[in-house]
Structure 1
Amino acid sequence: MEAHGDRAVAVGGDNYAPILTGDGARAVSLPREALRPPAEVAAPAGLDNLSVRPGLFVGRTAELDRLDGALADPGGVVVQAVHGLGGIGKSTLAAYWAATRTHGCAPIRWITADNSSSVQEGLVALAGALEPPLTDDALPPEALAERALQWLATHTGWLLLLDNVNDPADIAPLLARAHARGRFLITSRLATPWHGIPTVLRLDVLEETESLTLLTRIATTAGPRDLDGAAELCAELGHLPLAVEQVAAYLAQSPLPPPTCTYLPSTRRRCTATARSPPQPNASSPGSGTSPWTGSPPSSPRPRTCCAPWPGTPPTTSPPSWPTAPPTRPR
């Protein structure tokens, strides 16, 4: 027996073993889990990746009730969308509802969905959480994402929160593959493309009493303090939840002077300057309004029911969580 040519291999006798030839060739030993159909994979304990502490949530009763009602309707897949300005509390509402309401969904998975790559990363993370042995380079990311899709398509009762969707096309394959099986809750700044989705909520700024409650809770984290002018300050900020939260965090770090002496005068100066020269759109955050550090507060119709987000905005790779203390600088 002989072999001809570069890197040729000849094997004789009763030999059983992998044979690798060529540059970059490697052998991959798949665990038994990789051969098991996803339909036979049970959800292990601890699969949820949503962590919340609802102490700083205020208002939004009507919106929470609407989400409850949509989930209670009979039928297959339920897709719900929440849209509104940046910093208005969309992700906060979604996470709070998922964590505190009696919806009976399990597991609950948070996926950042601002682009198609992020959606795939979320599916890969789900596949790894379902079957940890597969994350050891056993399967490429594309194969892991496919297994996650197959698992979703063959199981019921789960809830996926798709956060910050910028293009409905990024989540369309996921919605199509997992039809009639689980529940979706989508957050997005987009207002127009949600045709065919039965429940669409539009969020607005806080009510006056709710923005004052939010500011007071955060600003007094370290203890009681003088909040003279706080209501007027909230009005100057347009009752935008993120703006109120950022200013309250600033006040919490400067406990001595009241808002009338520290923040309110500078806010008015910025508003006056902005009135003379309209602000330019924030390229990195289109349609998000303005933060208290960069311009005048957005004006918008008064909502009937609103909520406030917990300190900080949700991270891009994991679900929102409340910090143990207010942030020390704006985000």
Structure 2
Amino acid sequence: MSQGPERHAGSARNVVRGAVSGGVVQAGTVEGGVHLHGPSRQAVALPYRAGIAPPRAVAFQHRVYSPLLAEMLDRGGAAVPCADGPVRACVVSGLGGVGKTQLVLDYAERLWAAGEVDVWVWGAGSREAIVSGYARLAADLTGIEDHDPEHGAQRLLEWLATTTARWLVVIDDVQSPGDLRGLWPPATAGGRVVVTTRRHDAALRGPARRVIEVGVFTPEEADGYLRGALAGQPQLLGGDSDGVAGLARELGYLPLALAQAAAYMLDRNLTCAAYRGRLADRRRRLATLVPEGEGLPDEHRATVAVTWSLSFERADRLAPAGLAGPLLAVASVLDANGIPCGVFTAPEVLALLAAAARREVSGEDAVDGLGCLQRLSLITLDPDSRSRRVRVHALVQRATRDSLPPDRLAVTVRVAADAVSRVWPDIDGKTAVGQVLRGNLDALAEAGSQHLWEPDAHPVLFRAGRSLRESGALAQTRDYLHRLHTTATERLGRDHPDTLLARTNVALWRGYAGDPTGAVTAFEALLADYLRVLGRDHPDTLIIRDYLAYWRGHFGDLPGGAAAYEELLADELRALGPDHPDTLTARNNLATIRGKAGDAAGATAAYEELLPDLVRVLGPDHPNTLNTRANLARWRGHAGDPVGATAAMEEVLADYLRVMGADHPNTLTTRHYLAYWHGHAGDPTGAAAAYEELLADELRVLGPDHPDTLTIRHYLAYWRGHAGDAAGAAAAFEELLADEVRVLGPDHPDALTARCCLAYWQERARDRAGAAAVYEEALAERLRVFGPDHPDPLRIRAYRRERSTGDAPA
């Protein structure tokens, strides 16, 4: 054993014994009919050291946890006291491989070298080994050998309780809290106890004990370790500045993994970059990237994967038995940084657990199974986070996936995808849960992307695209949807319904990103393929015709869009019937395009006729019913009744708040229209105030760069101007224009509109020269984007003529 420097000459002996641990037994008690006289006599000279401690790691790192042991034990717990008195025992808990043993070894060696302990005992093992080790140690210390090891163990505890010697007992790698029942060393002024374990059970806590949760290296500690371990061959560090840091990051800063990776690199003369390349190869199992057997560094007893294998097995044996394994399998294909707990209680996961355990499994059972994994430090449960409740080390995930046969991995990936899809809210926008679920889908794709396309594209793939679009991340949405379409084409073929759906999403993105012309072109090509593959009356074909009509009208061809909707409505009435939701949607959209074409009264009448049918078919609280009520209020205002529009919008808002909540995007949109009609009803100051309140909520819910947030800023500036602050409106539009160009691009219709509004309010603020220059820029941009015959450039030209006569429009 590595003993460190001997402080005391003439040390009697250092006896290598078995595991040691203990519980408090007062002198004079009777155990099993054997009277333990106390205090026992001391039979060996001090200082005395027993047990086999491991060697110190070659590149040992002093860590943030090191001072904590000393603060707790050496200072009587002054820094972190227990409620029941000074700390006499520390339980060092954490995942296998985080360096618990090395931390405790460093602490023990420093105490021994400083002469602060007279007896240092190091041991580990099962309860049987602990008892036998105690008995042997009692014989050495007291000179009395008991034939019954249990009696000998109690004799040791009596000696520890009554001796004046200063002692330190280290019990390394305790497998179960039950192994220490009745065997904890006593809490005395001269005694210190340190236990290391992967367990996280409440039973490890007790009087005068504190638990230290040990995590992985910090990035700085990991960097120091790797540089120290590879110091003999510095060329392996490589010239890439990110080589060492990247390797540490990809190994999750786990000390054991870093040690074994360094040894593997030294054995094979691999640079950090080369090892990272092998690590990134998902065809390689984790067990193949560490030294074999005798080549393990620092006298490690097992590889990373084997180190955890016993933890996997023990967790699976804990009640409820048989659930921890499949739960960890599900966690292994999801995001290591956080998984919502609801994923593990989804019906699909419960069915997987029931099949594995061969019994009915409830959501409560699944939560208890997660607790079993936490008790073995295989996962971390964060009670303060709903969206990232379950966390797991990335290498634990990989070791778990390596143990899954291909058919079981395929099932696990599909079940996890089903569960993620199940817990995904209808609207998530920029909420934390949306970001977390998208991260979990990324992890699923990395763990087994092929299984998400067997036999068809999993619906969660499309849900993630919608989530990205709703979040306002236009560039990310574009890239994701194009990748989705490319993959669908490669895996399923050009005419597969899921490939066509992926193309549909790409076309929709173009429209939402401000390219209605591109959207029209894309939907025209799509419609030809849908007609060829699915036929004229297929519901999906009719949906494509709906999208095409919408974007035609949105592009500026309002008569063409209206005509397309009238044809579509006739076909949907024939193919689907008058009460089909798609037929009702077509009626809603036809009414909207009539209003945009200038027939506000006709749009109002169409909505009034549609609303009773929606209430009858879908119910009064259905989102489509509420949307139609909001549209009816809106077009009532455009038809010349802003006061009636305001009153109706207030009623709709009350129902949105009741049904969907304050932060739902539709609720926020309704508040936008309510503020708008307040202004048109003669209260521009009230409208501006309402938009200020709404903007604060949009920033909180959606973030500063979401298109809806930018829209609210537009109308806030608009109503500030109409409330009498033309200069403030011009300044606000100038700031808004810069942000819209940055977020949406210079050709987006909203950015083009903001440029015109900036010129208008500069004119109102008496900055005629500035307004003239901006109008020239706006006209040039509109001509470039839309062409000379589009209505927008024509309107700008007309306004320039009107402005030259001094007759500017309101």
TM over 0.5: yes
Matched, 1:267 2:283: no
Looking at structure 2, the residues matched to 84 and 180 of structure 1 have their Cα atoms a distance apart, in angstroms, of 26
Change (3 A) 1:55 1:250: closer
Tell me the amino acid that sits aligned with residue 40 of structure 1: R
Tell me the amino acid that sits aligned with residue 56 of structure 1: A
Aligned to 1:227: 237
C-alpha displacement of 1:143: 3.9
Tell me the amino acid that sits aligned with residue 276 of structure 2: L
Counterpart contact for 2:88–2:193, Cα < 8 Å = yes
Query: Percentage identity across aligned positions?
Result: 28
Matched, 1:48 2:49: yes
Change (3 A) 1:118 1:160: same
Change (3 A) 1:46 1:205: same
Q: Select 1:160's aligned residue among 164, 169, 182.
A: 169
C-alpha displacement of 1:108: 1.1
Q: Does the residue aligned with 2:171 lie in a helix, a strand or coil?
A: strand
Counterpart contact for 1:152–1:178, Cα < 8 Å = yes
Aligned to 2:120: 108
Looking at structure 1, the residues matched to 401 and 227 of structure 2 have their Cα atoms a distance apart, in angstroms, of 21
Tell me the amino acid that sits aligned with residue 94 of structure 1: V
Looking at structure 2, the residues matched to 168 and 292 of structure 1 have their Cα atoms a distance apart, in angstroms, of 25
Q: Select 1:83's aligned residue among 84, 93, 110.
A: 93
Aligned to 1:65: 67
Counterpart contact for 2:123–2:172, Cα < 8 Å = yes
Q: Select 2:263's aligned residue among 243, 249, 252.
A: 249
Change (3 A) 1:54 1:89: closer
Q: Select 1:92's aligned residue among 75, 88, 102.
A: 102
C-alpha displacement of 1:111: 1.9
Matched, 1:236 2:250: yes
Tell me the amino acid that sits aligned with residue 41 of structure 1: Q
Looking at structure 2, the residues matched to 41 and 132 of structure 1 have their Cα atoms a distance apart, in angstroms, of 7
Looking at structure 2, the residues matched to 140 and 212 of structure 1 have their Cα atoms a distance apart, in angstroms, of 51
C-alpha displacement of 1:284: 1.9
Specify every segment of 5 or more residues in structure 1 that has no aligned partner in the other structure, as ranges.
1-34, 298-331
Q: Select 1:169's aligned residue among 167, 175, 178.
A: 178
C-alpha displacement of 1:38: 5.9
Counterpart contact for 1:271–1:295, Cα < 8 Å = no
Counterpart contact for 1:205–1:241, Cα < 8 Å = yes
Q: How many residues align?
A: 249
Change (3 A) 1:232 1:45: same
Change (3 A) 1:295 1:251: farther
After superposition, the CA RMSD in angstroms is 3.6
Counterpart contact for 2:217–2:255, Cα < 8 Å = yes
Aligned to 1:146: 154
Counterpart contact for 2:43–2:140, Cα < 8 Å = no
Change (3 A) 1:57 1:167: same
Looking at structure 2, the residues matched to 51 and 87 of structure 1 have their Cα atoms a distance apart, in angstroms, of 14
Counterpart contact for 1:81–1:200, Cα < 8 Å = yes
Query: 1:235-278: per-residue Cα shift (whole Å, max 9, x none)?
Result: 111110000000011112223x42223x211100138999xxxx
Looking at structure 1, the residues matched to 248 and 173 of structure 2 have their Cα atoms a distance apart, in angstroms, of 26
Counterpart contact for 1:112–1:122, Cα < 8 Å = no
Q: Does the residue aligned with 1:130 lie in a helix, a strand or coil?
A: helix
Query: 1:101-123: per-residue Cα shift (whole Å, max 9, x none)?
Result: 4582321111214x311211321
Aligned to 1:285: 311
Counterpart contact for 1:166–1:190, Cα < 8 Å = yes
Change (3 A) 1:85 1:98: same
Tell me the amino acid that sits aligned with residue 69 of structure 2: L
Looking at structure 2, the residues matched to 129 and 76 of structure 1 have their Cα atoms a distance apart, in angstroms, of 30
Counterpart contact for 1:212–1:231, Cα < 8 Å = yes
Counterpart contact for 1:47–1:129, Cα < 8 Å = no
Query: 1:56-83: per-residue Cα shift (whole Å, max 9, x none)?
Result: 321314x222221222127677011111
Tell me the amino acid that sits aligned with residue 174 of structure 2: V
Specify every segment of 5 or more residues in structure 2 that has no aligned partner in the other structure, as ranges.
1-35, 78-84, 287-304, 313-376, 379-392, 403-810
C-alpha displacement of 1:192: 3.6
Looking at structure 2, the residues matched to 129 and 270 of structure 1 have their Cα atoms a distance apart, in angstroms, of 53
State which structure, 1 or 2, has the greater radius of gyration over its C-alpha atoms.
Answer: 2
Looking at structure 1, the residues matched to 255 and 401 of structure 2 have their Cα atoms a distance apart, in angstroms, of 14
Aligned to 1:312: none
Counterpart contact for 2:56–2:102, Cα < 8 Å = no
Change (3 A) 1:271 1:87: farther
Q: Which structure exhibits the higher relative contact order, with contacts defined as CA atoms closer than 8 Å and separated by 6 or more residues?
A: 1
Tell me the amino acid that sits aligned with residue 70 of structure 1: M
TM-score by length of structure 2 reads: 0.28
Looking at structure 1, the residues matched to 283 and 110 of structure 2 have their Cα atoms a distance apart, in angstroms, of 38
Change (3 A) 1:226 1:169: closer
Q: Select 1:124's aligned residue among 125, 135, 159.
A: 135
Matched, 1:178 2:186: yes
Matches within 5 A, 1:19-30: none
Query: 1:171-201: per-residue Cα shift (whole Å, max 9, x none)?
Result: 13122x6243622111111224133354321
Looking at structure 1, the residues matched to 229 and 263 of structure 2 have their Cα atoms a distance apart, in angstroms, of 6
